[in-house]
């Protein structure tokens, strides 16, 4: 049964990924992305990462893609992109070559590494001893990884503030530069163009 | 037949490559962001499968932090896209080469 679930979700994931690549309309690409994210969530469940599967659906499919759709609708870019135009000559063949070599490299690596993962199982945070996955993650996050956890909280705060600052609209014309900056700029221009008065002033001071 | 870790790793590799190709070929900045999300998901899948193979929670913890960073990245990236699109309607990433001066 696991094999069936894996194959079906893998097909869903790959079809969604190809859809993101080929969809001409950004809205369709976002919906294909939702498909891929759901497939990945199913694969998480298949590996007993139930908390991450829930977060994947809630945060990724629920929040991130909705944010994408908001921006698409807000900007009105939901019209089909002309895929026939290729602004940089040979961009697509080159990208295909790069992608194929990347995939070849990764798959070769997997073929060579037949022994499986060589790491040693974790001592502090073991899996598979019957304890609830969510409880395990929560305990690890708020004990061993509490500093990283706080840093991500800080990161999210900075991201929110940054987003607000970036999309803030300035009312009226563009704001003039501060007086000090303008004075400095003018002074530098004078030095560049007319060195005479500047040197006189300096001489006076000396 | 049993689903082994290698199956997940192969799927992750293919997904990552597809995301990379999309990032290189698409010109709409929003779709390029979506391709970045594809690549992040491929790596997440790899993290979870290796974590499950080793019986270690570390893989899932890494995925948790990747999720948070990806959310922050999308927020800031989309804000930049909105700020640019306000000035130039329908700008593609190629138009932004003017930023190079």
Shortest distance, CA B62 to any CA of chain A (angstroms): 10
Q: Is residue B67 over pLDDT 80?
A: yes
Within-domain flag for B12: yes
Tokens representing residue A16 in the block: 């969604």
- State the residue range of the domain holding B70: 5-90
Within-domain flag for A48: yes
Which of A99, A114, A143 would you mutate first to test chain B, the one with the most B CBs within 10 A? A99
Mean pLDDT, residues B90-95: 75
pLDDT, residue A199, reads 45
- State the residue range of the domain holding A35: 1-80
pLDDT, residue B27, reads 82
Within-domain flag for A131: no
Within-domain flag for B52: yes
Tokens representing residue A129 in the block: 């001893």
Question: What gap in Å lies between CA B35 and CA B15, rounded to an integer?
Answer: 10
Residues A44-74 pLDDT 10s: 999 888 899 999 999 888 889 999 998 888 8
C-alpha separations of B88 from A25, A171, B12, B17, B81 in Å: 19, 18, 37, 31, 10
pLDDT, residue B68, reads 92
Chain A residues with CB under 8 Å of B74 CB are: 64, 67-68
pLDDT, residue A62, reads 87
Within-domain flag for A192: no
Count: domains in chain A: 1
- H or E segment at B88? none
Within-domain flag for A24: yes
Q: Quickly state the pLDDT bin for A91 (edges 50, 70, 90).
A: confident
pLDDT, residue B37, reads 93
pLDDT averaged over every residue in chain B: 87
| A3: Cβ contacts below 8 Å, ≥ 6 apart | B1, B2, B3
pLDDT, residue B98, reads 75
Within-domain flag for A46: yes
Q: Quickly state the pLDDT bin for B93 (edges 50, 70, 90).
A: confident
Q: Quickly state the pLDDT bin for A130 (edges 50, 70, 90).
A: low
Question: What gap in Å lies between CA A67 and CA A160, rounded to an integer?
Answer: 13
Task: Give chain B's length.
Answer: 101
pLDDT, residue A191, reads 52
pLDDT, residue B41, reads 95
Question: What gap in Å lies between CA A21 and CA B34, rounded to an integer?
Answer: 9
Question: What gap in Å lies between CA A110 and CA B54, rounded to an integer?
Answer: 17
Within-domain flag for B76: yes
Looking from the CA of A206 toward its CB, the CA atoms found within 13 Å total 6
pLDDT, residue B47, reads 93
pLDDT higher at A86 or B21: B21
Instruction: Confirm if B28 and A77 have CB atoms less than 8 A apart.
Output: yes
Q: Is residue B44 over pLDDT 60?
A: yes
Residues A135-175 pLDDT 10s: 888 888 898 899 999 999 999 999 999 999 888 877 766 66
Burial status of residue B101 (CB atoms within 10 A of its CB: 0-12, 13-18, 19 or more): exposed
pLDDT, residue A74, reads 84
Within-domain flag for B71: yes
Q: In chain A, positions 113-172, which contact chain B (CB-CB < 8 Å)?
A: 116-117, 119-122, 125-128, 133, 136-137, 140-141, 145, 148, 152, 155-156, 158-160, 162-163, 166-167, 169
Within-domain flag for A61: yes
Within-domain flag for A14: yes
Within-domain flag for A1: yes
- Domain CATH number, residue A62: 1.20.120.1200
pLDDT, residue A86, reads 66
Shortest distance, CA B38 to any CA of chain A (angstroms): 7
Chain A residues with CB under 8 Å of B44 CB are: 40, 52
Q: In chain B, positions 75-94, which contact chain A (CB-CB < 8 Å)?
A: 75-76, 78-83, 85-86, 89-90, 92, 94
- Domain CATH number, residue B69: 1.10.287.3510
- H or E segment at B54? helix B29-54
Burial status of residue A28 (CB atoms within 10 A of its CB: 0-12, 13-18, 19 or more): middle
Count: domains in chain B: 1
Chain B residues with CB under 8 Å of A68 CB are: 30, 33-34, 74, 78
Secondary structure in 3-state letters for chain A: CHHHHHHHHHHHHHHHHHHHHHCCCHHHHHHHHHHHHHHHHHHHHHCCCHHHHHHHHHHHHHHHHHHHHHHHHHHCCCCCCCCCCCCCCCHHHHHHHHHHHHHHHHHHHHHHCCCCCCCCCCCCCECCCCCCHHHHHHHHHHCCCHHHHHHHHHHHHHHHHHHHHHHCCCCCCCCCCCHHHHHHHHHHHHHHHCHHHHHHHHHHHC
């Amino acid at each position: 049964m696991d094999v069936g679930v894996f194959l079906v979700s893998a097909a869903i994931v790959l079809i969604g990924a190809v859809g993101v690549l080929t969809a001409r309309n950004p809205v369709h690409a976002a919906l294909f992305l939702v498909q891929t994210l759901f497939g990945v969530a199913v694969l998480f469940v298949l590996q007993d990462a139930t908390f991450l599967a829930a977060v994947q659906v809630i945060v990724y499919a629920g929040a991130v893609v909705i944010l994408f759709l908001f921006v698409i609708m807000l900007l009105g870019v939901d019209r089909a992109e002309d895929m026939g135009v290729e602004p940089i000559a040979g961009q697509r063949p080159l990208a295909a070559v790069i992608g194929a070599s990347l995939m070849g490299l990764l798959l070769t690596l997997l073929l060579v590494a037949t022994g499986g993962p060589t790491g040693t199982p974790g001592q502090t945070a073991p899996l598979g001893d019957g304890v609830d996955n969510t409880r395990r993650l929560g305990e690890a996050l708020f004990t061993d990884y509490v500093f990283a956890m706080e840093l991500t909280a800080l990161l999210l705060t900075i991201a929110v503030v940054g987003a607000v600052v970036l999309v803030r609209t300035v009312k009226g014309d563009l704001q003039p530069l501060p007086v000090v900056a303008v004075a400095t700029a003018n002074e530098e221009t004078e030095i560049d163009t007319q060195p005479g008065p500047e040197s006189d002033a300096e001489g006076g001071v000396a | 037949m049993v689903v082994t870790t290698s199956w997940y790793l192969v799927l992750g590799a293919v997904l990552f490559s597809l995301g990379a190709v999309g990032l290189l070929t698409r010109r709409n900045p929003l779709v390029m962001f979506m391709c970045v999300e594809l690549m992040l998901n491929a790596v997440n899948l790899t993290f979870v499968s290796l974590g499950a193979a080793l019986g270690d929670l570390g893989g899932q913890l890494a995925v948790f932090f990747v999720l948070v960073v990806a959310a922050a990245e999308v927020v800031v990236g989309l804000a930049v896209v909105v700020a640019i699109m306000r000035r130039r309607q329908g700008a593609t990433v190629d138009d932004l080469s003017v930023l190079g001066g």
